[in-house]
Structure 1
Amino acid sequence: MAPAPPPGHFHILYFAAAAQHTGKSLEPLPAPLPLRDLFDELERRYSGIRASVLDHSLVTVNLEYVDIQADEEAPEGERVVIQEGDEVAVIPPVSSG
């Protein structure tokens, strides 16, 4: 279990290709952050991550899968906002042989 994020932050967990691209498995990010802005924020921090990793990944918020594209199209009052203390995970596709 990861330590609690610093006050005013949430934790983002990176797996597989996301961890390789960022060089990290865990990182605190400032909260609140609208879910629809998450990929833009990560692209700003890690150039190229959106096309190479994020556009093909699943995302969870507090262990529940979320659909970023559907969230972008949702009415304003129904959109997900990542809050202080939340845990977000980026889960790229994984293959095994």
Structure 2
Amino acid sequence: MSSKPPKGHFRLLYFASAASYTRKSLDDVPAPLALTDLFAHLEKLYPGIGQAVLSSSAVTLNLGYVDVEDQEGTGGCKSSDATVINEGDEVAIIPPVSSG
């Protein structure tokens, strides 16, 4: 596995139930992509993932947590406040983890 995504892509990492649902640990996704479009993109690739996994998952962008719901307030507009996932970025889908 390469440590960097291919040119023009960002790396999307799946953990826990996200990895189980997709049956993989990562995807390389074409960039740029608005953060507001990430879940719709994943739903096209993996039908049902939104309800099964994404609705309760945290998302990180370059190791910092981001709030996808706050981004949705932009109404799909490409405003200066909208977060864009760029080439070379790393995004992670982190479902809740229970311990016992």
1:2 CA displacement: 5.8
TM-score, normalised by the number of residues in structure 2? 0.92
TM-score (norm 1): 0.95
Letter in 1 for 2:57: S
1:79 alignment partner in structure 2: 82
The structure with more helix, counted as a fraction of residues: 1
Give me the whole-angstrom Cα distance separating, in 1, the residues matched to 2:88 and 2:80: 21
Cα RMSD (Å) of the superposition?
1.5
Cα-to-partner distance string for 1:13-42 (whole Å, 9 max, x where unaligned)? 000000000001111000000000000000
In the superposition, relative to structure 1, how do residues 42 and 64 fare at CA in structure 2: closer, same or farther (>3 Å)? Answer: same
Partner of 1:10: 10
Count residues in correspondence. 97
**% identity of equivalent residues:** 56
Q: CA deviation at 1:73?
A: 1.0
**Which amino acid counterpart does residue 84 of structure 1 have in structure 2?**
E
The code of the aligned residue for 1:80 comes to: T
What pairs with 1:1-97 in structure 2 (closer than 5 Å)? Answer: 3-74=3-74, 76-97=79-100
Unmatched segments (≥5 aa) in structure 1: none
Distance in 2, Cα, partners of 1:22 & 1:2: 19
Return structure 1 stretches of 4+ with deviation > 3 angstroms: none
